[in-house]
Chains A and B, each alone.
Chain A
Amino acid sequence: MSEYADLSPGGPGVGAVEKRFFTFAQDEPFVLESGAAIGPVTLAYETYGALDPDGANAVLVCHALTGDSHAAGVYHGADPKPGWWEVMIGPGKGIDTNRHFVICSNVLGGCMGSTGPASLNPETGRPWGLAFPVLTIGDMVRAQKVLLDHLGVKRVLAAVGGSMGGMQVLEWAARYPETVVSAIALATAAKHSALHIAFHEVARQAIVADPDWNGGDYYHGPKPAHGLAVARMIGHITYLSDEAMRHKFGRGLQDRADFSFSFDADFQVESYLRYQGRKFVERFDANSFLYITRAADYFDLGATHGQGSLTKAFSRGDTRFLVVSFSSDWLYPTYQSRELVQALKRAGRDVSFCEIEAQWGHDAFLLDSPRLSGLVAGHLERTRRDLGRDLRRGLP
């Protein structure tokens, strides 16, 4: 996911917001899919808008790989950076905070306030590092469920997310169909392709090959900054597309008229990648990157919830779906969304699908797009209207 500071927020936002924290599993540990148990667990989260008395207007926003709970608005004080989905969340936007109560939490395993490998292991008093158990998208979603229960949100009108956020949305729909009235899955897939896993592996190898990584135990010394920056650079290449890069950089040179005949960043694209890598190192933990990419690579909805059948994974419940792909996304190509849609149709689910023509590659779901906002707003509106009708009729 791109650095969202580059994005121009479309219209007024939700204003000042505050990051909150919720801690659970203090007494009983939280058992992960791997069988390992951790506790206590803290999740960082933010909310925007207000929950209706009937509780029918909650929208859960799930963030992508390296995102966080800060989906919209700005923090008090010196940090002017708006949330990563400022273009989508706010008054009158695709997810209208005048109408909806939006919740976004930082995933378990993250490093933006949630428990992850950089947190202190209560048994040793030192950061977990590689002693942190490997987790899954399912674990992240189960932790979010505990948070929603704590917030008194019994049912969400929609779970919404793109990329790895979309995987969480699908996991929600398969695991807790009764909790999710609708699922909006953008630029995502029911499982990663070999190509995708390959990119993640190269990125992970860049981190573990950094001498400062030190087997994951680097919290009291220099960080594996170079490896993490390279991992981020690889990511950025996959988030764009041939066309997007040509359009954005071409073969343009950075701050010079001719080649330097060295290995400095002569080309604009090199300079861009190095800048993105540096910026990422300032805010992200290398071990979190390893754990979260692993969780995304392990994700296979059909295997986990349908004994190998994606159709079976969606066989329970009444969740309706909106699936969106982007034409130039080669990380989560349209064929994967179509596979998802096919399984949903076979399972008898109400599903809408649209492939948006966009030249910006995978990043398109984060950019200001009236078409995408319109799709999300329309889907939410109808879901809410139909839910209201069902509630009036006394249906569950």
Chain B
Amino acid sequence: MRYDLDLVASWIAPGSKVLDLGCGQGELLQHLHDTKGVQGFGVEQDEEKAATGISRGVSILQGDMAGEVRDYPDNAFDVVVLSQTLQQVAEPLGLIRQMLRVGKRAVVSFPNFAHWRNRCQLFFQGNAPVTPELPYDWHDTPNIRVITFRDFHRFCNRFGFTILEAVAVKTDPASRGGLVLRLLPNLRATYGIFLLARS
């Protein structure tokens, strides 16, 4: 499994109830089900990915995550996961509020826009960064949000989300390996993973 998903999994208690928004083929949920007896539910927009996940035995709703999350009752889940998708969300504030309404905890991860490679591309080459983590041209990208760790901390402070855990990692998008960084994370980390709670 992907390194960052392994870290996310380490925050989830056995037997808990988890909702994964943008779950793809349900890799994380399947892993959590098999190793921790977690009752997992996913939401995925793409028909093929959703169908593949369901065919593998994961409970997945094909649909738009912002719409689907609204139907769940309060506190329906122990943890709601939004993995590497925040940069693509139209209304991040509304979505995270919904996540912390239906879940007691929320896990949010995203690629760090302040990574030194992005900074270098902008500073030395003068173009919008295109990297393995953000591999799209400006005119053809699903990533409509530019997020750095500092921005996200500020965002959480301002809107009253408590950050219980924050991990900066250096890993490739598809890699099984990676490193947790403590020194200069906003400069060196490719991804940030945050565990949030209501204040």
Contact = CB atoms under 8 A, between A and B. Distances in A.
A375 B51 contact: yes
B54 interface: yes
Contact of B54 (A338, A342, A375): A375
A159 interface: no
B61 A352 contact: yes
A374 B63 contact: no
Given A374-B55, A377-B55, A345 B62 contact: no
Interface in A337-396: 338, 341-342, 345-346, 348, 350-357, 371, 374-375, 377-379, 381-382, 385
A355 B47 CA distance: 7
SS class of chain A's interface: helix, strand, loop or mixed?
helix
A378 B54 contact: yes
Interface stretch (B71-79, B91-99, B129-137): B71-79
Given A346-B71, A350-B41, A375 B62 contact: no
B50 interface: yes
Interface string B28-41: 00000000000101
Interface residues of A, number: 25
Contacts of B51: 354, 356, 371, 374-375
B186 interface: no
Nearest to A357: B47
Count class of interface residues, chain B: 20 to 34
Given A345-B71, A348-B73, A348-B76, A354 B62 contact: yes
Interface in A302-349: 320, 322, 338, 341-342, 345-346, 348
Nearest to A371: B51
Interface in B87-126: none
B57 A381 contact: yes
Contacts of B47: 354-357
B72 A353 contact: no
Contact of A378 (B41, B56, B61, B76): B56
B59 A320 contact: yes
A353 B63 contact: yes
Given A371-B51, A374-B55, A338 B73 contact: no
Interface string B160-188: 00000000000000000000000000000
A381 B61 CA distance: 18
B72 A346 contact: yes
- Counting chain A CB atoms within 10 Å of each CB, the highest count among B39, B47, B61, B68 belongs to B61
B189 interface: no
Given A355-B47, A355-B62, A375 B55 contact: yes
Contacts of B72: 345-346
A43 B59 CA distance: 35
Interface of A: 320, 322, 338, 341-342, 345-346, 348, 350-357, 371, 374-375, 377-379, 381-382, 385
Interface of B: 39, 41, 47, 50-52, 54-63, 68, 71-73, 76
Task: Give the 3 A-B CB pairs with smallest separation, nearest first.
Answer: A382-B57, A378-B55, A374-B55
